[in-house]
A and B are shown apart, each in its own frame.
Chain A
Amino acid sequence: MTRQLIELDRVEKNYGEVRALTGVSAEIREGEFFSLLGPSGCGKTTLLRTIAGFEDLSGGQLRIDGQDMRGVPANKRPTNMVFQSYAIFPHLSVGENVGFGLRRKGLGREAMAREVGQALDMVGLGGYETRASHALSGGQRQRVALARALVLKPRVLLLDEPLSALDKKLREQMQVELRKLQRQVGITFILVTHDQEEALIMSDRIAVMFDGGIAQLDSPQVLYRRPVSRRVAEFIGVMNFLDASVGGNGADGLEVDVAGLGRVALDPAQCPEGRSGTSTVVGLRPETMTILFDTSEKAARVAEGSVSEVVYFGDMTYYDVTLDGVAAPVTISMRNLPGRPVLDRGARARVGWDAGAMVLFR
């Protein structure tokens, strides 16, 4: 059904002694919104630039549409890029910027104007053709950069942290808009970002990168629920880590004794790194635990503790709860539903939790 559009086969990139990419293998499907997520220096931008053709590979193979891209310069690749700085040509008007790449296609003056107009309409800048590019706001520049790339109908659109220069509100708006635009045009988007929330919101699949390699490549949901390592778990969202000791394999799975919570049996799917040694940690997301305000409320398992910190967000309240017998507090997030109280610091709390949400790490 979905074809592989880009194949990365043990792609390597070295800058002298520095290994920027250490053998990256991945397949990017036709028409998907794919994100490269990682901290700065993880190699995500380098990977994007190798796909664009701005960097040569030191090793491995890169195929786009089944074609080996070795020696193919950027201007001959079916990719277009939205640069982090947008790279809007300051000496050209908005219309001339958008039409820059069309010039080579040998369109007539009218056909070209029509294409430019359509592209600008698509990004919500209809009628901006004659505006001077230096008079644009940051958000408008970003839209021009998008239109300039999309007007060429590339197989792949590469976006290098396109939203990082925008303010929060505009960024959130553009995240949704970009996602809609991608569905509308059906072009494969590859987004580089260091913002995990942005990646979760926009992507079909996310590759989390550390130290020049992909640590995990999955859908946002799998990535969030079943991170394959503690490092990935820490990078994406908030996760509580509790010391645990591993016992033997029981009838219901691996038997683990979790500090403050007690004995649980974990499914192999919850142990992505396998079992090794006896001393380890389990991770639990803040929203998988609940504070039981009423003695009548039920939960799969219940633990006791005291509230050490309360952070009120309006729609949510974040509690730090120190479970009895555990030194470090766990963070629990609760929706502020009508009639639900907000506990004070120092209050005793009953905490409901579920072993099914746990992930065991090395």
Chain B
Amino acid sequence: MSSSDGAFSRWRHSEGAQGLILVSPTFLYALLLLAAPLATIVAISFWTQDYLVMIREFTLANYIRAWTEPLFQTLMLRSVVIAVIVTAATVLLAFPIAYYVSFNVRPERKALWIFLITIPFWTSYLLRVFLWKVILGYNGVLNSGLLGLGLIDEPLTFILYNANAVVITLAHAWAPFAILPIFVALEKIDRALLEAGQDLGESRFTTFLRVTLPLAMPGVVAATLIVFIPTIGDYVTPKLVGGPDGAMISNMIQLQFMKLNNGPLGAALAISGMIIVTAISLIFLWLNRRYLKVRQ
């Protein structure tokens, strides 16, 4: 056997090579379906479009429009605000549920509870959004129920076809994604640490603040990012329950690509959105590391 053969076969059996072989299918998949489209979008965002013809000349005009036109500014700001509210609502509501399952449910029942929490996911996302329409609508379940009980005289209109509806729907949709990471973080806490907290003079509540909460923060941070990042770019929910006042940036991107034949502007808006999400996420992570010493 030649020495190069030996070297190759040695390389083939090395840990590095085996790792490479293991990740390469996923890597190829990601390259084809994530990196390539992303690169295309980045490229398009610097071009212009004339009806159906793409003019491949470098320009920053799309970005200038995306960042200066009041309509786009409004939509972008609204997307961020809605995403922040949805994230805050979801994580705040998810924490007590995760806490209850982790600390108050008997160990043999926990799997069942987690299973129950994921049940809404057995139906499609679209269907769930439609169901919220049925619940929140003018003649919907909520309004007819409240009318029937005599609690209101005329149907509530502030709960559908506006930003409120988007927040309600998204918060429900993302709840399990927030519950699970927080639950996992809580599960990892050694229960002896809580006893130690009380043994050292803290009440149950102050032990929660000084021990449980800091140790659960990695889960809370994960939940926050998991909910925030996709929410800001959500398209279906604002489309279906948002109405004109609940429209978000993705709806505008869709409009630019599909209706207005201005792919480059849509692409610039998309890239701008990504930059904003990345920036906000990084600032959030930095703040956590700085002030809460969250170690991932």
Contact = CB atoms under 8 A, between A and B. Distances in A.
Given A90-B215, A91-B215, A91-B293, A74 B190 contact: no
Interface string A133-158: 00000000000000011001000000
B145 interface: no
A85 B192 CA distance: 8
Interface in A65-116: 73-75, 79-81, 83-85, 87, 89-91, 100-101, 104
A74 B198 CA distance: 6
Contact of B196 (A83, A104, A152): A83
A54 interface: yes
A265 interface: no
A150 B195 CA distance: 16
B215 A101 contact: no
B139 interface: no
Contacts, number: 56
A74 B293 contact: no
B193 interface: yes
Contact of B201 (A54, A87, A91, A104): A104
A184 B202 CA distance: 28
B199 interface: yes
B187 to A, nearest CB: 15
Contacts of B192: 83-85, 87
A100 B215 CA distance: 15
A91 B195 CA distance: 16
Contact of A75 (B190, B199, B214, B293): B199
Nearest to A134: B295
A146 B15 CA distance: 43
B195 A101 contact: no
B193 A52 contact: no
Given A89-B211, A91-B215, A83 B200 contact: no
B201 A101 contact: yes
Contacts of A75: 198-203
Contacts of B195: 54, 74, 81, 83, 87
Interface in A314-340: none
Interface string B193-229: 1011111111100000011001100000000000000
Interface in B212-265: 214-215
A104 B293 CA distance: 22
Interface string B75-112: 00000000000000000000000000000000000000
B214 A91 contact: yes
Contacts of B210: 100
Contacts of B211: 89
B201 A89 contact: no
A87 B189 CA distance: 10
B190 A87 contact: yes
B293 A152 contact: no
Contacts of B295: 91
B193 A89 contact: yes
Most buried by A among B196, B202, B214, B215: B196
Nearest to B200: A101
B53 to A, nearest CB: 58
Contacts of A104: 201-202
A53 B199 CA distance: 8
A131 B138 CA distance: 61
Nearest to B188: A90
A81 B201 contact: no
B199 A74 contact: yes
Contacts of A85: 190, 192
A87 B215 contact: no
A89 B194 CA distance: 9
23 contacts: A53-B199, A54-B199, A73-B198, A74-B198, A74-B199, A75-B200, A79-B199, A80-B199, A80-B200, A81-B196, A81-B199, A83-B196, A84-B192, A87-B192, A89-B193, A90-B215, A91-B295, A100-B200, A104-B201, A148-B200, A149-B199, A152-B200, A152-B201
Interface of B: 190, 192-193, 195-203, 210-211, 214-215, 293, 295
The 7 closest A-B CB pairs, nearest first, are A101-B200, A87-B196, A87-B192, A74-B198, A91-B214, A75-B198, A81-B199
